[in-house]
Amino acid sequence: MFIVHVTPEIAPVAKVGGLADVVFGLAKEQEIRGNHVEIILPKYDSLRYDQVWGLTETYNDLWVPWYGGSIHCTVYFGFAHGRKCFFIEPHSADNFFNRGCIYGFNDDILRFAFFSRAALEFLWKSGKHPDIIHCHDWQTALVPVFLYEIYQHLGMTHPRVCFTIHNFKHQGVTGANLLHATGLNRPEYYFHYDRLRDNNNVHAINLTKGGIVYSNFITTVSPRHAVEAKDHGEGFGLEPTLHIHHQKYGGVLNGIDYEAWNPEIDRYIPFHYTADTIEDKYRNKIALRDRLLLSDNEKPIVAFIGRLDPQKGLELIRHAMFYTLHRNGQFVLLGSSPDSQINNYFWGLKHQLNDNPDCHLEIGFNEELSHLIYSGADMVIVPSRFEPCGLTQMIAMRYGTVPVVREVGGLADTVFDKDYSHRPLHERNGYIFRDYDFGGLESALGRAISCYYEYPEHFRELMKNAMRYDYSWNHPGQHYMNIYDYIREK
């Protein structure tokens, strides 16, 4: 099968969050299964060019329709750790992708609408007719709209579109100007409730809604979150649209890249180990303490790794930190936020705890350090308000680090409580709490710390159970192939 992913991110060359890991891991799995996979993304100035091999100009005559005129683009080809990527570079005063970072600008919606149009124009002009176009999040949600409203009429009738919503919170809601810019020229047609009109604001269009309406299949990134978004008010206003289109909607759990995240061969960690040599994990714990200047003692290390976004449960992360110290543990945080107020708040906490030998806060993005933390910590907390899938808990388990998570979204689909799960003992792999409050968090983290101190053998079993789970791309890879087959036959 010929599959094209249209995406704003791919790890590690253009990564902000989990979406980047998902696109890389899924594309790799699809190639392993014998498919031809290509990826189209913007040519950001902030690309990690040191991670792209053989970058060459491949198409220099792409004119993308824009506001009644057109913008000239150059397309580059390069390998991002083996993945075949086309990078689109527009030449215009808008300077869409030379902004130093990927998101955070007033014209983000226009920037990515342009990219979506450019991606289809490129497919069309270069004569590519993929079987599947797989697009990701609001940034590329207009791809199926352009395909069915413009390019199909030009003869591009073959591709089917799968649209994955990684996060319902960001939907790309904007005004009529966007239609004018992108060549979707009939506002009264697109401003219809059955098409792009936002469900809450009759004067706005909603890109994600357009993606849902026009795609052949829509997925979100875990079965639990698929239900939460449609039926439990977690769809940020898109619930009725998901209901209307429920027959082409489902949840596919993300996987993680089992080569990039593998304690047996990980080049970022000093001591390699498996479930059978789990003792060696503790040598990484010592290395982590060395690196972060934490004292060496019997205490468990509890870690948080992730974006410092309100979604991730900032109050509970802070509380986990003080509660862990109170319960005689050590706490490590690695995270950052594009919001300076949040960053400053955590910088304040860092200064407050600067002299504490049991606590370290690292404010910033550091892939390499994250590997050492996953391998050296005893527990990872993920106390999210909502979590479509969550990769951190799965990565942690791969490293024998016990997850302590809130029972939402993909966290609920992947973590099974040591004390309360209905699963057999050998399938229990962590700790869960339900209520988003301090008591809830303490009920799970407290049990984890008690088990660590009082029943080390049980804790060890839990670590091994976690390591034995298969959260690779193997199962989700097959799941997506089934979806592709299904929509190609329809």
- CA-to-CA separations, 385 to 328, 411, 433, 437, in angstroms, rounded: 26, 11, 12, 10
Helical (H) or strand (E) element with 342 = helix 340-352
182/414 with CB nearer ligand ADP: 414
User: What CA–CA distance (Å, rounded) separates 216 from 248?
Assistant: 7
Task: Report residue 334 as tokens.
Answer: 């690695």
User: What CA–CA distance (Å, rounded) separates 31 from 2?
Assistant: 10
Torsion of CA 389, 393, 398, 399, to 10 degrees: 160
Binding-site ranges for ligand ADP (CB under 6 A): 17-18, 21, 305-307, 334-336, 365-367, 370, 389-392, 395
Count of CB atoms within 10 A of residue 164's CB?
26
**Minimum CB–partner distance for residue 422 and ligand ADP (Å):** 26
Helical (H) or strand (E) element with 316 = helix 314-326
User: What CA–CA distance (Å, rounded) separates 205 from 300?
Assistant: 50
Count of alpha carbons within 13 angstroms of residue 234, beta-carbon side = 19
Q: Which residue is nearest to ligand ADP (CB)?
A: 18
118/404 with CB nearer ligand ADP: 404
Q: Which of helix, strand or coil describes residue 372?
A: helix
181/415 with CB nearer ligand ADP: 415
Helical (H) or strand (E) element with 179 = helix 177-182
**Minimum CB–partner distance for residue 338 and ligand ADP (Å):** 12
User: What CA–CA distance (Å, rounded) separates 306 from 337?
Assistant: 9
**Minimum CB–partner distance for residue 241 and ligand ADP (Å):** 22
User: What CA–CA distance (Å, rounded) separates 12 from 338?
Assistant: 19
4/389 with CB nearer ligand ADP: 389
CA neighbor of 301 nearest in space, from 457, 464, 452, 463 = 452
367/485 with CB nearer ligand ADP: 367
Pairing of strands 379-382, 69-80: unpaired
Task: Report residue 19 as tokens.
Answer: 């979406």
274/336 with CB nearer ligand ADP: 336
What single string gives the DSSP state of each residue in 54-111? Answer: EEEEEEEEEEEEETTEEEEEEEEEEEETTEEEEEEEEESTT-TT-SSSSS--TTHHHH
156/260 with CB nearer ligand ADP: 260
**Minimum CB–partner distance for residue 274 and ligand ADP (Å):** 21
**Minimum CB–partner distance for residue 102 and ligand ADP (Å):** 13
**Minimum CB–partner distance for residue 254 and ligand ADP (Å):** 7
**Minimum CB–partner distance for residue 413 and ligand ADP (Å):** 13
Beta strands in 329-436 (DSSP E): 330-336, 359-363, 379-382, 402-406, 431-433
Q: Helices (H) and strands (E) in the chain — how many of each?
A: 18, 17
**Minimum CB–partner distance for residue 182 and ligand ADP (Å):** 27
347/365 with CB nearer ligand ADP: 365
**Minimum CB–partner distance for residue 305 and ligand ADP (Å):** 5
211/409 with CB nearer ligand ADP: 409
**Minimum CB–partner distance for residue 20 and ligand ADP (Å):** 8
**Minimum CB–partner distance for residue 129 and ligand ADP (Å):** 32
